[in-house]
Chains A and B, each alone.
Chain A
Amino acid sequence: MWYFVSPEIVFGEGALDALDELEGQRALVVTDGTLVELGLVDKVKAHLDKAGIDVHVFDAVESDPSVQTVRRGVEVAQEVRPDWIVGLGGGSPMDAAKAIWVLYERPDLHPAEINPFIRLGLRQKARLLTIPTTSGTGAEVTWGIVLTDTEEQRKMGLGNRENVADIAIVDPEMAAGMPPQLTADTGLDALTHAVEGYTCTWHTDMTDGLCLSAVRLIFEYLPRAVAGGSNMEARERMHNAATCAGLGFGNAMASISHAMGHTLGAVFHVPHGRAVAIFLPYTIEFAAREAPERFAGLAALVGQPRGLPLHRDKERARALAERIRDLCREVGNPTSVAGAGVERVVYEAQLDKLIDDAFNDTQMITAARAPSYDELRRLFLYAYDGRPVDF
């Protein structure tokens, strides 16, 4: 027994027009200052105005939103009393919006209590609408919430399937202005979602097709979206791919790359998509030794080396890892932690914390091959140096 949850998804060019028909009184738009400056918040406001909805904006969400920021957002929600919470942005504003919504409805809860084992009883005061402005996070369709505990420098994986959005507006125009680096980072985040959603132990028949579709689209369109930001076909296909990957991994799980990427991001502030994509090839090579089959299936999809026999699953899985490194290089992203600019001496000083936090990350429990503590240490070290995994 398992669940598949999804918002109503309005997608494609002009999808934002669906806001004109939204029924409600007051909306609280949860976003960040950059999106206000870029005019994207005004764009959304104009549509909500047409719907006759009074709009308030909370634009204080930082990258990797903290519990404190969420609490401030809840205070604003309690003053405004919205019947719609609108998460507008990348993963950070959308995750913050989810948490603000839950705590606005359930002020008795501590943010860390938002867990999948309880009944929240949401939708008594408001509903949630999400609008992604990057093509990667998938947060518009997932119920997971990642908040940062700034005191412990630790990311917390929270969420409950009730807190999935009611409506997701996936309009490629909203992501068309992303600069190349952000396009690459977020696109590789989507790729990591798709690969891990397909290969984790919680994958299902309901999620496999979404992940496969996303992998294929990302390999085809991410380089084009990075090279030519005005290529709206590439933008639209990447925007759709990110949402497909979100539905895929969001109804399955991510895995080791996310566990390792979360802790690297929390300690060294490496952007999330860049961090998880650095680790992805190493974790594939690690899994290939004991559980290569599903990775091998993906390799066939993205063009494995000619002449590699179909029964050689381990080699095919390793070929997938190398294809992902090639894609990272093609879009200008690092393939090692050193390449991401983290100094060795600082990295080694933080290594025990990185391992401890990754070992206990919620994404670690669904690994196709579960690393021991010492194996995880070696994975961090190999990924630092850019050495293909041989253990």
Chain B
Amino acid sequence: MAFKFPSDEWIKELSRQLNDSESYERSAKDWEGNFVFIVEPDETYDDTAYLFLGLYHGKSTDAAMVASKDEREVEFVLRAPFSSWRKVIEGKLDPIQGMMTKKLRLAGNMMKIMRYPKAAKEIVSCCALVPTEWS
């Protein structure tokens, strides 16, 4: 079964994959901080989507597609156009390189993020495990 990106089902499946990942659990064992991923419109996607991902001590505590970036309390906001998200999920754009080249724009405590590069990588690895159907 494939999950449409972006959707509530897709982010919930990512949450499930994270909770199955020992590497993520190990690399994020002290992590505290929820994310919202904002999927911005571009030539291939004409809507804006907000995907909430709750993350705490190596586990995903909650996940949902929400109506706005302020609907849930989050510490980090990561935004990119749909086509950039697709490249990340398909493994064609490294998320750290994506942030360094501003293809992905992160707002939040950078000092904290810098301590968990492996966890960021593991989240993307789990994204790749979600069978994805593109909107």
Which A positions have Cβ atoms within 8 angstroms of B?
A: 1-3, 110, 112-113, 115-118, 156-158, 161, 201-202, 356, 359-362, 364-365, 370, 372-373
B110: Cβ under 8 A from any A Cβ: yes
Which B positions have Cβ atoms within 8 angstroms of A?
A: 22-23, 26-27, 94, 96-97, 99-101, 103, 106, 110-111, 113-121
In-complex Cβ contact of A115 among B27, B114, B116 (8 A): B114
Whether the Cβ atoms of B94 and A202 lie closer than 8 Å is yes
Whether the Cβ atoms of B22 and A373 lie closer than 8 Å is yes
Complex A-B, nearest 5 residue pairs according to Cβ-Cβ distance, in ascending order: A373-B26, A365-B121, A112-B111, A115-B110, A116-B100
Whether the Cβ atoms of B101 and A2 lie closer than 8 Å is yes
Q: Could you tell me the distance between the alpha carbons of A365 and B118 in the complex, rounded to whole angstroms?
A: 6
Q: Could you tell me the distance between the alpha carbons of A12 and B27 in the complex, rounded to whole angstroms?
A: 44
Report chain A residues within 8 Å CB of B114.
112, 115, 156-158, 362
In-complex Cβ contact of A362 among B22, B97, B101, B117 (8 A): B117
Whether the Cβ atoms of A359 and B27 lie closer than 8 Å is yes
Whether the Cβ atoms of A359 and B94 lie closer than 8 Å is no
Whether the Cβ atoms of A372 and B118 lie closer than 8 Å is no
Report chain A residues within 8 Å CB of B27.
359-360
Whether the Cβ atoms of B103 and A360 lie closer than 8 Å is no
Q: Could you tell me the distance between the alpha carbons of A360 and B110 in the complex, rounded to whole angstroms?
A: 15
Residue of A nearest to B112 (CB): A112
Report chain A residues within 8 Å CB of B22.
372-373
Report chain A residues within 8 Å CB of B97.
2, 202
Secondary structure of the B contact surface, majority rule: helix
Report chain B residues within 8 Å CB of A161.
100
Report chain B residues within 8 Å CB of A113.
110-111
Q: Could you tell me the distance between the alpha carbons of A334 and B33 in the complex, rounded to whole angstroms?
A: 42
Report chain B residues within 8 Å CB of A117.
99-100, 106, 110, 113
14 other A-B residue contacts (CB within 8 Å) besides A112-B111, A360-B115, A360-B119: A1-B101, A3-B101, A112-B114, A113-B111, A117-B99, A117-B113, A161-B100, A201-B94, A356-B26, A359-B26, A360-B117, A362-B117, A365-B94, A365-B96
Residue of B nearest to A365 (CB): B121
Q: Could you tell me the distance between the alpha carbons of A198 and B74 in the complex, rounded to whole angstroms?
A: 38
With both chains docked as a complex, state the minimum distance between the C-beta of A260 and any C-beta of chain B, in angstroms.
Answer: 13
Q: Could you tell me the distance between the alpha carbons of A237 and B95 in the complex, rounded to whole angstroms?
A: 37
Whether the Cβ atoms of A364 and B118 lie closer than 8 Å is yes
Report chain B residues within 8 Å CB of A364.
117-118
Whether the Cβ atoms of B118 and A359 lie closer than 8 Å is yes
Q: Could you tell me the distance between the alpha carbons of A110 and B109 in the complex, rounded to whole angstroms?
A: 12
Q: Could you tell me the distance between the alpha carbons of A364 and B106 in the complex, rounded to whole angstroms?
A: 21
Whether the Cβ atoms of A365 and B117 lie closer than 8 Å is yes
Q: Could you tell me the distance between the alpha carbons of A118 and B100 in the complex, rounded to whole angstroms?
A: 8
Report chain A residues within 8 Å CB of B118.
359-361, 364-365
5 contacts between A and B (CB under 8 A): A113-B110, A360-B116, A360-B118, A364-B117, A365-B120
Residue of A nearest to B95 (CB): A365
Whether the Cβ atoms of B111 and A110 lie closer than 8 Å is yes
Report chain B residues within 8 Å CB of A118.
110
Q: Could you tell me the distance between the alpha carbons of A3 and B102 in the complex, rounded to whole angstroms?
A: 12
Report chain A residues within 8 Å CB of B101.
1-3
Q: Could you tell me the distance between the alpha carbons of A364 and B96 in the complex, rounded to whole angstroms?
A: 12
Q: Give the one of A115, A161, A361 with max B CB within 10 A.
A: A115
Report chain A residues within 8 Å CB of B26.
356, 359, 373
Report chain A residues within 8 Å CB of B111.
110, 112-113, 115
Residue of A nearest to B102 (CB): A117
Q: Could you tell me the distance between the alpha carbons of A344 and B116 in the complex, rounded to whole angstroms?
A: 29
Residue of B nearest to A374 (CB): B22
With both chains docked as a complex, state the minimum distance between the C-beta of A168 and any C-beta of chain B, in angstroms.
Answer: 22
With both chains docked as a complex, state the minimum distance between the C-beta of A66 and any C-beta of chain B, in angstroms.
Answer: 17
Residue of A nearest to B115 (CB): A360
